[in-house]
Amino acid sequence: MTFGTTPRDAAQVRQVRQDTDPVWRRTPTGAIGLGTGVVVLAVGLLVGRADVALLGVPLVLGAAWTGRPGAPGARVATRETTVRLTTADGPVVPGTLAAVLEVDPPGEAETLQVRVAAPGHRTVDLVVAAAPRRLDLRLATVRTGPQPTFVADARGYGPGGATAEDPIRVGAPESLVLPATMPLGRVPLPSRLRGLTGPHVSRRLGDGGDLRDVHPFTPGDRLRRIDWRTTARRSPDLDELYVRRTYSTAEATTILVLDSRDDVGPDLRTWRGHGARRIDEPTSLDLARHAAASVAKAVVDAGDRVGLEDLGRRRRPLPAAGGRRQLRRLQHGLAMTSPLGSPQRRLRPPQLPADAIVYLFSTLLDDESLHLVRTWREEGHRVVVVDTLPAVRPVAEEHLRIAWRVTSMERDDRIAQMAAEGVLVVPWTGTERSRARARFEAKVRADERHHAAPVRLSGTTGAHR
C-alpha cells in the first residue's frame, strides 16, 4: 500500500471538502483485481477449464462487494481519520526528540497505514488493523536547540484495499532539544577558593574534617570541639581544656562563557548562509552546548557553583549557583542560545565574580576571543578555552580553499598565542563523544603537571587538596 496522492494538512482537507465530496476513493488495487478476475474467468470459459474460471470468481465478487451501495467509495463516509501529533508528556530527555501520535480511523476502514518522517532520518511505514491507536515517537539527535520534529501521514483503507481515503498530514511543533552530558574526570579549579563551606579543603581554620592541631581552649571555641582524651592526658586536674582545630572548607566558582555569535558546520559552503546543513552533523554551537553541559555537570557533581554567560546576546547572565536545579537551568539556557544578527564587538568583557575560573567555548575565528582571554587573565581569573570548531571537510571550490587556508592560519596563531601565555586550550571536535572526553582529560592532566601551582584563598595561601 502506498500514498497515491499528495498528502494534505488536516485543516486543509476540512476546508476544501464539501459535504458532497467523497472522502473515500477507489484505488488501483480494486480495478486491477476486477480486471484480473474478468480475464481469468474469460480464459477459463474459452478453453473449457472450469477450474481456471473458478479462480476468477472470487476476484470479481470481491470487486462487486467493495462497489456495493453501502461500501466505502460508493458513498460519503461518516467522518475522516482523526490524526493528532503532540509533544510527549513527562521530563525532557537531553539529546532526544519525543512526540505522541494519536490516530482514530472511521468505522469504514479495515486497515490503517501510518508514515512517520523526521528531518535527517529514515521514513518509517506501519500498516495495522484499523483501530484507535496511540504511538510514542522518539529518536536521538546530535543537534540541539530548537529543532523540527516529526511529520506523520495517515490513511485508512477499505476492505481488500480497493478503496482509500485522502491521506492526512500533520506535523508536530518545533521542539527544544537539551544538550546531553557525559561524565568528565577532574576539571580545572580557580587559583583562588572562596567561601566558608564547600567540597574543597582550605588552609584556613574553621569547620571541616581535616585535623590541623590540638590547641588550648580559647574564647570563641565551641564546646563540642573539646578533646577530652587530650585534656585528661595533659591536664589531669582539668585546669585547662584542649580543643581539636580543623581546616575549613571552601568552594569554587565556575563561569561558562558561550560564544554564540556564530554557528558553523563542517561544510564551508554553508558558512555564507546558503544551503542546508546536514541534520546528522553537529555544528559548532551544538558542540559548545554539549561541552558546556558536560563541564557544568562535573562542577555540580563536585559540589561547586556554576553560572552561564552568553557573548551573543545582551541579556542578564545566569548567576552562579549549585545543585541539580541549577544544572537543569543551565541546560535550558544553553539550548536557547543562538546567533543573533552579525557578530558585534563588545565594548567590555562580561563582569564575572571575583576568583572564578572561566570556561570560554568558542570557534576562535576572530580576535574577540583572544582579547577577552587576555582581559580576564589581567583581572586574575584562570581561563580555560574550549575549541568547538568542527572538523572542516575539504571543498572543490578554489576560492573557498584559499579563504579557509588563510582563516585557519590566523586561527592557529591565536591558539599558539594563548598557549604561550599559559592558557589551557582544549579541542572539542568530532562526533564521537568518547574521543572528546579523552582529549579533554588528557589536556587537563598535562596542564596540572606543567602548571601545578598552589590554590590560594582570599587573604591566605596554601595547597589545594
State whether CATH 3.40.50 applies to domain 252-457: yes
Residues 254-278: tens digit of each pLDDT: 999 998 888 888 888 888 777 777 8
Per-residue pLDDT band at 288 (split at 50, 70, 90)? very high
Q: Are 271 and 283 in contact (CB under 8 A)?
A: no
Q: In the prediction, which pLDDT does 278 show? A: 80
Neighbours of 431 (CB within 10 A): 15
Q: In the prediction, which pLDDT does 96 show? A: 84
Higher pLDDT, 208 or 394: 394
Q: In the prediction, which pLDDT does 412 show? A: 92
Per-residue pLDDT band at 62 (split at 50, 70, 90)? low
Flag the least confident range among 87-91, 413-417, 418-422.
Answer: 87-91
Residue 305, pLDDT > 90, answer: no
Phi first, then psi: give them for residue 425, nearest 5 degrees: -110, 120
Q: In the prediction, which pLDDT does 34 show? A: 65
Residues 344-390: tens digit of each pLDDT: 666 677 778 878 889 999 999 888 888 989 998 888 888 999 999 99
Average pLDDT, the chain: 76
**Domain range summary for the chain, segments of one domain joined by +:** 1-15+78-176, 24-75, 203-250, 252-457
DSSP 256-277: EEE--S----S-GGGGGT-SPP
Residue 120, pLDDT > 60, answer: yes
Per-residue pLDDT band at 410 (split at 50, 70, 90)? very high
CA angle, residues 443, 446, 450, in degrees to nearest 5 = 140
Residues in the chain, overall count: 465
DSSP 149-212: --EEEEEEE-GGGSEEEPPEEEEPPPEEEPPP----S-----SEEBSSSSSEEEEEESS-SSEE
Residues 85-109: tens digit of each pLDDT: 888 777 778 888 888 888 888 877 7
Q: Are 464 and 189 in contact (CB under 8 A)?
A: yes
Residue 83, pLDDT > 60, answer: yes
Per-residue pLDDT band at 416 (split at 50, 70, 90)? very high
Measured CA distances, 289 to 14, 143, 172, 390, 397 (Å): 42, 10, 24, 13, 31
Residue 58, pLDDT > 60, answer: yes
Residue 20, pLDDT > 60, answer: no
Q: In the prediction, which pLDDT does 59 show? A: 65
Per cent of the chain over pLDDT 90 is 12
Q: In the prediction, which pLDDT does 2 show? A: 40
CATH number attached to the domain at 1-15+78-176? 2.60.40.10
